[in-house]
Amino acid sequence: MIYRAIGLMSGSSLDGLDIAFVEFQEQGGKWSYEILQADCYAYTNEWVAKLRDAINLSARDYQLLHAEYGHYTGQQINKFIEEHQLHYKVAVIASHGHTTFHIPDKKMTAQLGDGAAIAAETQLPVVSDLRALDVAFGGQGAPIVPIGEKMLLGNYDFFLNIGGIANISYNNPDDYTAFDICPANRVLNMLVNELGKEYDDGGQIAASGKINDTLLEQLNALHYYTLPHPKSLANDFGTDIVYPMIKGSGGNTADALRTYTEHIALQISKVIAVFTNSKLETHKSKLLITGGGAFNTFLIQRLTEQLKELNIEVKVPDINLINYKEALIMAFIGVLRWRQENNVFSSVTGAARDSIGGALWTGQEA
């Protein structure tokens, strides 16, 4: 069977809306894919402010933004379809939405972007609220990408995504494991924004700074890092806990960026060391890195140097997979929902069972 779907992802780094049009083929339970078209529509300053400040709105205004962002998302999809001449080629749309509140211990997660509004704008079938059922079953609701990694990209031992939050998947055939490691680009971008820049290109500013050993020790001692998995992070861990710690330490921006870059690399290598030490075999493991952090040359350099001691081969893939892996997998999750098949691993999230996640909105006429 062949399925053509659009996947959408809006990450915590607030850089824009990632859209991927993907063709999936299933034969005998084996899946393959091809990203046929992909783009990132950057948010205007107005939308960055709306999404960033959504958690401070009243219930009424939050719901109004939920609807507004859904219609906006649908309009961006229509623009994407028009630009790439995809009329009558899209079977289903899967939208992750933009995460605002994520409190799995209270069995609640919220993503902006009303699926009904997207369906009304596009007049196509839309799958939204991809994390909600897993959280209702007692899971973390995150990460949800491992099902796509395992079924589409299964030739690696580890999958590392460095976005607003860094998360990792360990492709153990007996017990697939994945969880959030630490805040990443969201904090780095907040720091470099102070210099009037959107991001630290290649990590050049970080590379020019010096490590604040006291701050690094404080960051590494945060309680979250002692918790067992499954576990996940909300955006406010980075914005409300980590960022104020860094600012409270004094020092200049370059030193702050250097210190936090080292912190990210240390936390990632620490997690991987636990998995590699538990393995009996001595073969070289392979790590695939995607997400915006894959373009941070200095961060990748520091990470590669630390992982070399663990016999880990670091692979940075082609630009399409770096940029659009999550949008690709959202499309895949939508296809699985369309097929009424499990699309979230409870072994990863800690839910009571695997689930067929996502609300389905039928936008076209019967």
Sequence ranges of the domains in the chain? 2-141+324-361, 146-321
Contact (Cβ atoms closer than 8 angstroms) between residue 127 and residue 95: yes
What was the pLDDT predicted at 280?
Answer: 46
On the question of pLDDT at 26 being above 50, the answer is yes
Average pLDDT over residues 144-164: 92
On the question of pLDDT at 111 being above 60, the answer is yes
What was the pLDDT predicted at 278?
Answer: 59
On the question of pLDDT at 306 being above 50, the answer is yes
Average pLDDT over residues 264-291: 85
Kindly give, in sequence order, each residue whose CB lies less than 8 Å from that of residue 133, ignoring residues fewer than 6 positions away.
Answer: 344, 355, 356, 357, 358
CATH tag, 146-321: 3.30.420.40
What was the pLDDT predicted at 361?
Answer: 98
pLDDT band at 172 (very low <50, low <70, confident <90, very high): confident
**C-alpha 198, offset from chain centre:** 19
- Tell me the per-residue pLDDT of 53-92, one tens digit each, with 9 for 90 and over: 999 999 999 999 999 999 999 999 999 999 999 999 999 9
The per-residue pLDDT of the chain, averaged, comes to: 94
pLDDT band at 248 (very low <50, low <70, confident <90, very high): very high
On the question of pLDDT at 282 being above 90, the answer is no
Among the ranges given (13-17, 96-100, 187-191, 291-295), the one the predictor scored with the smallest mean pLDDT:
13-17
On the question of pLDDT at 2 being above 90, the answer is yes
pLDDT band at 365 (very low <50, low <70, confident <90, very high): confident
For residue 207, give Cα distances in angstroms to 11, 40, 180, 212, 296.
Answer: 25, 28, 25, 13, 11
Contact (Cβ atoms closer than 8 angstroms) between residue 324 and residue 8: no
Task: Supply 280's token pair.
Answer: 């009996």
What was the pLDDT predicted at 279?
Answer: 56
Find residue 35's DSSP bridge partners. Answer: 22
Using omega within 30 degrees of 0 as the cis cutoff, is the peptide bond preceding 143 cis? yes
Task: Supply 222's token pair.
Answer: 């945060």
On the question of pLDDT at 154 being above 80, the answer is no
For residue 185, give Cα distances in angstroms to 18, 159, 161, 224, 266.
Answer: 16, 17, 11, 18, 15
Instruction: Give, for 57, the enclosing helix (H) or strand (E).
Output: none
CATH tag, 2-141+324-361: 3.30.420.40
